[in-house]
Amino acid sequence: MTTTKPNHIGRKIARIRELRGMKQEALAHELGISQQSVSHMEQSESLEDSKLEEVAKVLGVTKEGIENFSDEAMINYFNTFNDTVSSSNFGHQNTCTFNPLDKLVEAYEENKKLYERLVQAEKDKVSYLEELLKKK
């Protein structure tokens, strides 16, 4: 039986990357390295501070956030998150002040009007050209 070392930095990077919905290829691209290098990094128990800083920046967390990451802490955070979200500033950023469906319908209607104006402009142009041809 193999026991997981609690501070395996590579596994923590992999877990945060997965939670972000990011593939190894995307992380590799952002870091300017190969996907194989990311794979190797995620299998490493430790990482140089400078490299860890780079990875943290791409993942949108702090170096300490990676070092202190654990699934248990994350689960605890999200369990308390719903209790505190309504009283925090963070909660207000997640409230939608409009109906996204209404915005979609508005955009559709605007596109329809633009298309109708474009068609009318083309019809006017054709009529104008036909008039010019008749005069000749």
Domain borders along the chain are 9-90, 98-136
Backbone phi, psi, residue 41, to 5°? -60, -40
**Which residues, at least 6 apart from 119, have a Cβ–Cβ distance to it below 8 Å?**
none
**pTM > 0.85:** no
Encoding tokens for residue 74? 């994350």
Class of domain 9-90: mainly alpha
From residue 68, alpha-carbon distances to 6, 65, 130 in Å are 10, 5, 75
Do 55 and 48 contact (CB within 8 A), yes or no? no
- Return per-residue pLDDT of the chain as tens, 136 residues: 444 456 899 999 999 999 888 999 999 999 999 999 999 999 999 999 999 999 999 998 989 888 888 877 777 666 665 555 555 555 455 556 667 788 888 888 888 888 899 999 999 999 999 999 998 7
